[in-house]
A and B are shown apart, each in its own frame.
Chain A
């Protein structure tokens, strides 16, 4: 099973709403990632978790709050977002083995902030 599952696939939220994006993998990977992608642009790294601990935060605004409850799950909590935060949010996972470095991506959540 080489699947990363993200829910929901689409999300529309107001600027005062609180919502969460969810990501799940069952490949035994111990590194998980959040990326943000604008249309026709490359993904931009937001956060990296390794062994359920936050290891990289790419200076992301505090209105985005990641959480890794266990080795299979990754959440992204959203609060007081701006319209410019509308984008495709991609979750990915990878092993921590140097022999197996590739990241596997989910299908993403298309977020629209109104």
Chain B
């Protein structure tokens, strides 16, 4: 079984500054995906960024980037130039990659980090 740990229940940052959210995971799988989702007060879970475990290059998506350390089983999210709209609960999530070129299945979520961006 997989476990995902987010050790920061709450964080805050000033608008335009940079913040890093931490995530560690534990698995015996070698092929998997890692995701960061955000859930603003509107409730919808929105994909922020994904990382395939076999890729050494860290994923980036505009102001969002990850630091993926496979050996350390660490997957942190960096948000640059924070904006008020980034205020949300952020979840780190793990998904095992299925065989045969397909993938579906259980997303294992961390407990979440509530991020507040202050003006």
Contacts and interface: CB of A to CB of B under 8 A. Distances in A.
Interface of A: 31, 40-43, 45, 48, 50, 55-56, 58, 88, 90, 92, 94, 96-98, 101-108, 110
Interface in B59-76: none
B66 to A, nearest CB: 14
A77 B52 CA distance: 35
Interface stretch (B11-19, B79-87, B105-113): B105-113
A41 B101 CA distance: 32
Nearest to B102: A96
A52 B98 CA distance: 18
Interface of B: 33, 35, 37, 42-47, 50, 89, 91, 95, 97-98, 101-107, 109-112, 114
B50 A102 contact: yes
Nearest to B111: A42
Given A48-B106, A96-B104, A98-B97, A40 B89 contact: yes
